[in-house]
Amino acid sequence: MIAIALKLKSTGKTSEAYNEIKKMTEKLTGISYEGLMVGETEGKSVVANQDDPVEYLDAKGQFFFTAGELCLDLNKRDEAQKLFETSLFFYTNAENKHKSFSFQRQVDLSKIFEYLDMMAAPEGNDPKG
């Protein structure tokens, strides 16, 4: 899923990548992309199951991280923030439930905190600047 979005993004097909991310979000969470963005989740919530392997949680974290960066590229700051928060949820669960360390996870978490800090600043600051 991540590879599809990255390939589309790298070939300049950002709107197609965005549409793929919207479809994939529902597959990964059971919640529509629009519902996730506005918090109308029809009683569902983003969850990490107790038996989810660490690799699966990391893959979800990486997916939502990539989706957040794509939304920043498309100047969709509010969506990017929600996606980064979702990524943070999955990465944090991977660390806490499995007591594991991943260098890539740490790199992504560092970037997420950086983006979220910059996004909290007044509009006009470029989080990818």
With 70 as the cut, is the pLDDT of residue 129 above it?
no
Who contacts 95 (Cβ-Cβ below 8 Å, separation ≥6)? 101, 105
Span 73-117, pLDDT tens digits = 999 999 999 999 999 999 999 988 878 888 999 999 999 999 999
Q: Is 126 a member of any domain?
A: no
Please give the model's pTM, rounded to 2 decimal places: 0.84
Full residue range of the structural domain in which residue 24 is found: 2-38+53-120
Q: What share of the chain is helix, strand, coil (3-state, %, to 5)?
A: 70, 0, 30
Q: Domain count for the chain, please give it.
A: 1
- Give the C-alpha separation, 91 to 95, whole Å: 6
Q: What integer is the mean pLDDT of 39-61?
A: 81
With 80 as the cut, is the pLDDT of residue 127 above it?
no
Q: Is 80 a member of any domain?
A: yes
CATH number where 77 lies: 1.25.40
* Count of beta carbons in the 10 Å neighbourhood of residue 12: 9
For residue 2, the model assigns a pLDDT of 75
With 90 as the cut, is the pLDDT of residue 50 above it?
no
For residue 3, the model assigns a pLDDT of 81
Q: Is 127 a member of any domain?
A: no
Give the chain's mean pLDDT. 87
Q: Is 129 a member of any domain?
A: no
